[in-house]
Amino acid sequence: MQTAEIRRRWLDFFADRGHTVVPSASLVSDDPTLLFTVAGMVPFIPYLTGLVPAPYPRATSVQKCIRTLDIEEVGKTPRHGTFFQMNGNFSFGDYFKDQAIEYAWELLTNSEQDGGYGFSPDDLWVTIYEEDDDAFRFWKKTAGLPDERIQRLGMDTNYWSTGLPGPAGPCSEIFFDRGPAYGADGGPATDDDRYVEIWNLVFMQYLRGEGRSKNDFEILGELPRKNIDTGMGLERVAFLKQGVENMYEIDQVRPVLDRAAELSGRRYGADHDDDVRMRVVADHVRSSLMLMADGVTPSNEGRGYILRRLLRRSVRAMRLLGVDAATFPELFPASRDAMKAAYPEVEADYARIGRLAYGEEETFLKTLESGTSILDVAVEKVRKSGSRQLEGDVAFQLHDTFGFPIDLTVEMAEEAGLSVDRSAFDTLMAEQRNRAKADARAKKTLLADLSVYSDFRAKGETVFTGYEFLETDSTVLGIIVGGESVQRAGVGDIADVILAETSLYAESGGQEADAGRIVGADFELEVLDVQRPVKGLISHKVEVTGGEVGVGDAATSIVDPQWRRGATQAHSATHVIHAALREVLGPQAHQAGSYNKAGYMRLDFNWNQALSPATRTEIEELSNNAIRNNLEVETRVMPLAEAKALGAMALFGEKYGETVRVVDIGGPWSRELCAGTHVSRSSEIGLINLVSEASVGSSNRRIESLVGLEGFRDLALERTIVSQLSANLKTPREQLPERIADLMASLKAAEKKIAEFQSAALAQRVPALIDSAQRAGGLTRVVENLGTVGSADDVRTLATTVRSRLGLEAGLVALAAEVASGGGPAKPVVIVATNEGARSLGVRAGELSKLAAGILGGGGGGKDDLAQGGGTDSAAIGAALEAIAKALPA
């Protein structure tokens, strides 16, 4: 049974039983505490927790998911994948435990001819929470399973909660027994790969309180509305129904694995390590394809970092398979063709996806070359020290800074006859993960705080009137201070205020929130921010600047008209520049993010090379011509499908409902889905002044522009600067570039001449320094304060010259000086140089420079033969040189 058929049967089964079929949400989660959609229930969390009223009593979906917590297990077990699809059915206070169990058993065991999956009841086992007698009774009644195949397990495996106060409840998992050839008898309790979990039924029936751990918390009582949340792993069922050994061999994944085998010339099934690497490639390429289809681009943070890691692990795995050349142009099309039937967007948008993937692979292959060079230097250093082990911090630096995989470091170190201090590396990685977990916990707390909004959201959605009006009369529905709902707030309080209607725009779609006020008969509030903490609800963060505001008070929201005008100019400018970009560069230059506020906008777009000055000028001229042509700006509200049929662009990272707002500037020239505020005609934008264009990743560029009056002010400032230069240099404006270039050339020639004079003067000091040499303890030493010199390089040159003049006898040179620092105050520097004879006596330049630098109030160090130190206390130069002298052999 093909994966697409398993998916179709699921949706048909539950649709026939009154469930609303909900399309998969994006892999980019709406939940601010999650980077990705990690489970099928994530899009339904607001309904399951009661934060937002459910729009339907029961629902079903096949949800795209990404999880990378077990990334190291990918390829090693039959079921671990970073991208997977979760079939789910959900009840929001409708049916409960008995019906959920009945549905699950019916779909699993009905024959394929009758629309089921055709599993034999003899192959299925069930686990339940150890105290859930209701589940035990329902399973006996529905499935007739013998008692020993309904295993009672503890809270750590069969009890669900978010980890925070809120909904919780027992769960029941369904397992398929693969047979004695795959492991020990004894059922799922053995935790053996023989038993594959295929479906988890969560019975959300209790309200939990605070707890000391995952398994230790207080149950406060039953929920007034009990919910059902179930999830069946589509890939797990697929590999069982297709008779293959694991999820990497199913129809949606195997083509990539086979292509990796062909490219490497190795046969799948011949070698365990190679098999794991091919599975990693197959999994990670598919996951990367799906992430990029949902708008994620490679970067060094957040979602982009996860994507980059998946891509680089794929490159690494192919390298370990013996392929050093680029492989993504072969692997990604194989994945595209396997996934396009279920997700047509991967084919429709493949030009962009392929460009991102191929560019990232090319960049990483170059990074591997750089990392290899750095590793070679580190290996040589270890060899010279006599050690046989590469330090863990070196391996961590290669991993963290250069993206160099640890197992590649281990492999290459072993080729050089060295081991890697994995213990130290693992400690550093653990510290990094702990920092990340601490950050995640901090973010998770924010989710708990959202529960305070549930009562307000239950009263309905906030009505936004700001498209038509800058002022709107309304009523205060709620006030939140310090995370708690209160009845009143007074002068000086910072509060979140919920209104029934508002004209103030909440930050979204790249547009910053409106500035403004909320006023009433007895109060005045300054608006600090406007957000949508939960879907459908607008919250105003305010400072009470006068009087006292209370729940139920009449209130008027007032938008700062100058701010709004600037914000609409900037947002419309973003659309205009996006259209101009696509006209100049082509449709593959797709927006990848934006931010705009009064007077300023920036736009990130998919492109992998810098724009030439001529191209920047062309984009700027096109944009300002659109302004000059006074194009009409039209907004329309329509169904999403109709908007897409009209060619309206849906921007990555944005979430759209079934009804959307379409903004046209000049008709189809710029047609985008957008909920932001806009000018009514393009001439109202005023002016677009592109001020920068730069890289924000290997495949992304960023344009920044000043808009309207701010753009004019910037140009006026440049005009003033040019006028001043023209007057001071007595040169016409159009000749300034040549005049300045001539002056720079003259200055460089003068600096070179000065440097030559200084070098000659320093060279004349060599004989005197040689004459100052003293000999003690078998060592000739020159320890001198040079006074003030031009640069640390001069001191270094003098030190090495004197060292060479000392001949073959053991010698040390320690020179200190004050060095001018870019026109700032002079700072002390010390250079220590030793020859081979001195080092044989145990004299180390690095140790001595570090000693002196500590006295100078700074730091230093270096190699045994030449080292440098510095600081801030020039008065301590004498003491620093004296310390060096005392440290030498007597």
Residues 87, 216, single domain; the answer is yes
**Tens digits of residue pLDDT in 335-366:** 999 999 999 999 988 988 998 899 889 888 88
Domain boundary among 657, 685, 716: 716
Q: What is the pLDDT of residue 436?
A: 55
According to DSSP, the β-strands at 501-502 and 600-606 are unpaired
The residue-averaged pLDDT of 628-640 equals 94
504, two tokens:
């103030």
Q: What is the pLDDT of residue 490?
A: 92
Name the binding residues. 571, 575, 674, 678
Domain boundary among 215, 246, 277: 246
- Whether residue 297 contacts residue 697, with contact meaning beta carbons closer than 8 Å, is answered with yes
CATH of the domain at 631: 3.30.980.10
Q: What percent of the chain has pLDDT over 70?
A: 95
Name the binding residues for Zn(2+). 571, 575, 674, 678
Using alpha carbons only, give the angle 778, 783, 786 rounded to the nearest 5 degrees.
160
Residues 474, 594, single domain; the answer is no
Give domain status of residue 425, yes or no: no
Q: What is the pLDDT of residue 32?
A: 66
Owning domain of residue 755: 731-764
Residues 39, 160, single domain; the answer is yes
User: Is residue 315 scored above 80 in pLDDT?
Assistant: yes
**Tens digits of residue pLDDT in 636-669:** 999 988 988 888 887 655 566 778 999 999 999 9
When mean pLDDT is compared across 436-440, 494-498, 645-649, the lowest value belongs to 436-440
**Tens digits of residue pLDDT in 381-405:** 888 787 888 888 888 877 776 667 6
Residues 756, 840, single domain; the answer is no
**Per mean pLDDT, which of 302-306, 458-462, 619-623 is the most reliable?**
619-623
More confident residue, 316 or 845: 845
C-alpha–C-alpha distance, residues 199 and 811, integer Å: 77
Give domain status of residue 799, yes or no: yes
User: Is residue 857 scored above 70 in pLDDT?
Assistant: yes
User: Is residue 448 scored above 70 in pLDDT?
Assistant: no
Give domain status of residue 447, yes or no: no
- The band of 443, judged by pLDDT with boundaries at 50, 70 and 90, is very low
- The band of 441, judged by pLDDT with boundaries at 50, 70 and 90, is very low
Give domain status of residue 366, yes or no: yes
- The band of 35, judged by pLDDT with boundaries at 50, 70 and 90, is confident
User: Is residue 298 scored above 60 in pLDDT?
Assistant: yes
The residue-averaged pLDDT of 557-582 equals 95
Residues 373, 287, single domain; the answer is yes
Residues 57, 197, single domain; the answer is yes
The residue-averaged pLDDT of 515-530 equals 94
Residues 89, 108, single domain; the answer is yes
Q: What is the pLDDT of residue 528?
A: 94
CATH of the domain at 183: 3.30.930.10
pTM of the model: 0.68
Residues 191, 275, single domain; the answer is no
More confident residue, 48 or 203: 203
Give domain status of residue 723, yes or no: no
Scanning 163-233, the segments in alpha helix (DSSP H) are: none
Its sign, for the CA torsion 141, 143, 147, 152, is: negative
- Residue 47 CA, distance from chain mean position: 27
- The band of 741, judged by pLDDT with boundaries at 50, 70 and 90, is very high
CATH of the domain at 467: 2.40.30.130
C-alpha–C-alpha distance, residues 346 and 354, integer Å: 10
**Tens digits of residue pLDDT in 671-686:** 999 999 999 999 999 9
**Tens digits of residue pLDDT in 248-270:** 999 999 999 999 999 999 999 89
C-alpha–C-alpha distance, residues 618 and 582, integer Å: 12
When mean pLDDT is compared across 385-394, 595-604, 782-791, the lowest value belongs to 385-394
More confident residue, 141 or 368: 141
Report how far apart the first and last C-alpha atoms of the chain are (Å, whole number). Answer: 86
Give domain status of residue 811, yes or no: yes
Question: What is the rounded average pLDDT for all residues in the chain?
Answer: 88
Q: What is the pLDDT of residue 43?
A: 87
Bridge partners of residue 151, in order along the sequence: 127
Give domain status of residue 521, yes or no: yes
Residues 410, 552, single domain; the answer is no
Strand residues in 359-424 grouped as ranges (E): 389-390, 419-420
CATH of the domain at 842: 3.10.310.40
| Residue whose C-alpha is closest to residue 374's, from 409, 415, 426 | 409
**Tens digits of residue pLDDT in 176-225:** 999 998 888 999 988 778 899 999 999 999 888 887 776 778 888 888 88
**Tens digits of residue pLDDT in 802-825:** 999 888 889 999 999 998 765 567
Buried b vs exposed e over 583-622: b needs ≥16 C-beta within 10 Å?
bebeeebbbbbbbbbbbbbbbbbbbbeebeeeebebbbeb
**Tens digits of residue pLDDT in 756-772:** 887 787 778 899 999 99
Q: What is the pLDDT of residue 10?
A: 95
More confident residue, 66 or 402: 66
User: Is residue 559 scored above 60 in pLDDT?
Assistant: yes
Residues 51, 197, single domain; the answer is yes
Give the CA diameter of the chain: 105
Buried b vs exposed e over 230-262: b needs ≥16 C-beta within 10 Å?
bbbbbbbbbbbbbebebbbbbbbbbbbbebbbe
C-alpha–C-alpha distance, residues 534 and 547, integer Å: 29
**Total number of domains in the chain:** 6
Q: What is the pLDDT of residue 45?
A: 84
Give domain status of residue 873, yes or no: yes
- The band of 368, judged by pLDDT with boundaries at 50, 70 and 90, is confident
Q: What is the pLDDT of residue 447?
A: 38
221 Rama sector, left if φ>0, alpha if ψ -120 to 50, beta otherwise:
left
More confident residue, 601 or 363: 601
- The band of 76, judged by pLDDT with boundaries at 50, 70 and 90, is confident
The residue-averaged pLDDT of 128-145 equals 94
Residues 740, 826, single domain; the answer is no
Residues 815, 842, single domain; the answer is yes
Q: What is the pLDDT of residue 618?
A: 95
